[in-house]
């Protein structure tokens, strides 16, 4: 258990340092008889070990014997003209678009993306 907590600490520090958008849910066992076969996610949905899926809110998740880990599938724009432009998240494409505030049909130049 101490090793697992140490790994979680290292992961949380590295996630913060890299600006990644990820999280880990500790194992919430799904059982078949006495055997643990997976973990429940935040919505209470069961997932088997070694499974992977994409959520409706654009996260890629996987289930392991340590729990469930999820990361965003998109980058966030951080270096653009915020006075002239606005970033809009497109849920269907799981991506940000940066467009002019006055005319959303015109895209803006983005100099840096994070995530």
Q: Are residues 65 and 83 in the same domain?
A: no
Least confident of 14-18, 33-37, 77-81, 99-103: 14-18
Instruction: State the CATH number of the domain containing residue 33.
Output: 2.10.70.10
Q: Are residues 9 and 36 in the same domain?
A: yes
Round to whole Å and give the CA distance between 5 and 12: 10
How confident is the model over 106-110, as a mean pLDDT? 97
Instruction: State the CATH number of the domain containing residue 89.
Output: 2.20.25.590
Tokens of 26: 């500790």
Q: So what's the pLDDT on residue 21? A: 86
Tokens of 64: 């392991």
Tell which wins on pLDDT, 7 or 92: 92
Comparing CA positions, the residue from 35, 42, 94 lying closest to residue 68 is 42
Which residues are CB-contacts of 3 (< 8 A; sequence separation ≥ 6)?
A: none
DSSP helix/strand/coil, 7: helix
Tokens of 27: 């194992």
Helix extents (H) in 1-115: 2-18
* R_g of the chain computed on alpha carbons: 18
> Could you list the residue range(s) of the whole structural domain that residue 100 is in?
76-114
Residue 69 near residue 14 (C-beta atoms within 8 A): no
Q: Are residues 11 and 66 in the same domain?
A: yes
pLDDT in tens, 37-82: 999 999 999 999 999 999 998 999 999 999 999 999 999 999 999 9
Round to whole Å and give the CA distance between 26 and 12: 13
């Amino acid at each position: 258990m101490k090793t697992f907590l140490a790994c979680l600490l290292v992961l949380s520090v590295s996630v913060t340092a890299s600006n990644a958008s990820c999280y880990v849910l500790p194992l919430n066992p799904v059982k078949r008889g006495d055997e643990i076969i997976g973990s429940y996610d935040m919505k209470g949905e069961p997932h088997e070990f070694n499974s992977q899926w994409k959520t409706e809110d654009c996260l890629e998740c996987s289930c392991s014997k340590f729990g469930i880990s999820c990361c965003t599938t998109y980058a966030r724009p951080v270096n653009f003209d915020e006075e002239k432009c606005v970033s809009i998240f497109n849920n269907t494409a799981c991506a940000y678009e940066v467009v002019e505030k006055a005319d959303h049909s015109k895209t803006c130049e983005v100099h840096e993306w994070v995530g």
